Each structure stands twice: as C-alpha cells, then as structure tokens.
Amino acid sequence: MKPMNFTRRRVLVTGASSGLGLEMARQLANRDQADLVLVARRLDRLNELKAELEGSTGIHCQVIAADLSKPQDVDRVFAEASAAGEIYGVILNAGVTHFGKHLDMEWSGFESMLATNVTSVVRLVNLFTPYLISQGREGGIMLVSSMAGLLPLPFQAAYAGTKAFITNFAQSLSEELRGEPVSVTVFSPGGIDTDMTRSSKLNYFENTSLLQDATSCARDGLAAMQSRQVIHVPGRLNRAQLFATRLTPRRLITRIAGVTYRKALKAGEAGQGKTA
C-alpha cells in the first residue's frame, strides 16, 4: 500500500480534547488540512477545539461527546461518524491510568479502565476495520499504546496490563489483515509532557528527559501511521531503553522501574500533603 495521505480526508481522533489527542488533531488540521471527527467526554472542550481549528484552517470538524467506558457510547461514535461522511483514518488514543498501589485502586476504577483502554478499542476496531476495507481507500487505524505495554511498570500495573493487550492485539491483527486495503499501527510512546502529567503525581518526572513533549510525540505518531508502520516507539531515549532491556534480566528491569516509580509516588503524596 502507498503511504497514507490525510489531506482533505476525514480522520477520527478519540481523546481529542487534551494531551496527545489534542496535539494530533491540531497537526492533522494545520499541516494536512484533514477534516476531523473529534471524540472525547467534554463537549465544551471539543467545541472550543472545533472553533479553533475551523477558524484557523478552514477544515470541517464533527464533534461527538462520548464516554468510551460505556458500550452504547462506543457504538454511537461509529454510527454518527460513519453516517456523516467517509472515514479514512481512525486514531484510538483515549485512555485512562491509575498511578499508585494496585490494591488501592477501586474495583469500579479498574472496570472503567478496562472498558476504556481495552473493550472500547477492540469494539471500535471491530466496527471500523470492515468499514475501511469496504471503502477500498487504503485507510488506516492507529492504536495508541505505551512503552508500559512492552515493559513491566510497578505502580501502574493495571494500566500496563491494558497496554500490553493493545500492543499484542494490534500487532497480531496487522498480520491477519495482510493484503487487505487497511493498515494497523500501534504507537507506543513513553511518558509525555501533558497537562494530565503535570497535574498528577507523575509530575515528579516533569522537566526530565523521561517525558517527551506532546508536539514531537504527536508528529512521530502521525508519521508512523502515515508510513503504515506496524509498531513504533518514538524518541531515541525510549528506543535505547527498550534495546537495553533485551540484555537485562526482566526481574531487574521491574526492580529498577519499581524503585523509580516508588520515589515518584512518595514525592507526589508529599506534595499533595503540603497543598492540603
């Protein structure tokens, strides 16, 4: 297949109201002049982004407010997006995490994470993949995973588990679809410098090389999707760390990550205590 061309094509982005999804939407609009289907929970933020992008670029944005932890909302996203015009690309970016001890996580929180990070993604893939194949336009789907899906991550144990599923699911599906007019890309960034990171206990890593800026991360992800890579880890440091783990016992990798994230957790809890 030829590389994807987003220009004047409709691209759906979930989790578009903030962070990586927001930056991808802006780049697709400003650089590629792509028309967008913006999906997130917060309607006010989606409408603000719609006004911003339509006003500055002349593209068209469809807004769909949806909670992807709810099956009925997931199905509605597909129905409304596909009814409004032909979809060429699908970026499944929405996700949630829990930073802390796994046993401190409420069961309802885990169920919501599983529904958002895994079930909604698989459901949307199951809906959009046959649709894209039937269009015959050589479209593509990108699943945003994480390096947490490639390596153990203590204190984000459930999140790492969901991303491991997404990583293996996407790579496996990509091979199953060989020869079909659709590509599947899994994008696996490390930490990203976003408002969510800065306002959480993960702000321990702020202003360090462990966080990639959202602009370059979004650019890397869109380039990987455009070139139809099966899996892409952005950032030289991330790729170097991943390569080093091939030579290191997995138990030691887990231990090092645990020590680092335990410090971040304690620092975050101390900071919250001072604020209270």
Give pLDDT, residue 41. 96
Are residues 110 and 158 in contact, defined by beta-carbon separation less than 8 angstroms? yes
Asked, for residue 21, whether it belongs to a domain, the answer is yes
Q: Which residues are catalytic?
A: 159
Reported as a pLDDT band with limits 50, 70 and 90, residue 219 is very high
Asked, for residue 4, whether it belongs to a domain, the answer is no
Lowest mean pLDDT among 78-87, 120-129, 252-261: 252-261
CATH number for 257: 3.40.50.720
Q: What is the pLDDT of residues 128-172, one digit of tens each?
A: 999 999 999 999 999 999 988 898 889 999 999 999 999 999 999
Number of domains in the chain: 1
CA-to-CA distance for 232 and 50, rounded, in angstroms? 29
Give pLDDT, residue 275. 37
Residue 101 CB coordination number (10 Å): 12
Owning domain of residue 79:
10-275
Asked, for residue 5, whether it belongs to a domain, the answer is no
Asked, for residue 3, whether it belongs to a domain, the answer is no
What's the mean pLDDT in 187-204? Answer: 66
Give pLDDT, residue 201. 55
Asked, for residue 1, whether it belongs to a domain, the answer is no
Give pLDDT, residue 276. 33
Q: Which two tokens stand for residue 11?
A: 């691209």
What's the mean pLDDT in 216-225? Answer: 96
Give pLDDT, residue 135. 95
Give pLDDT, residue 202. 55
Asked, for residue 2, whether it belongs to a domain, the answer is no
Asked, for residue 134, whether it belongs to a domain, the answer is yes
Give pLDDT, residue 273. 46
Is 50 exceeded by the pLDDT of residue 25?
Answer: yes
Mean pLDDT of all residues belonging to the chain: 89
Asked, for residue 23, whether it belongs to a domain, the answer is yes
Is 50 exceeded by the pLDDT of residue 185?
Answer: yes
Percent share of the chain, pLDDT over 90: 71
- Paired with 76 in beta bridges are none
CA-to-CA distance for 274 and 276, rounded, in angstroms? 6
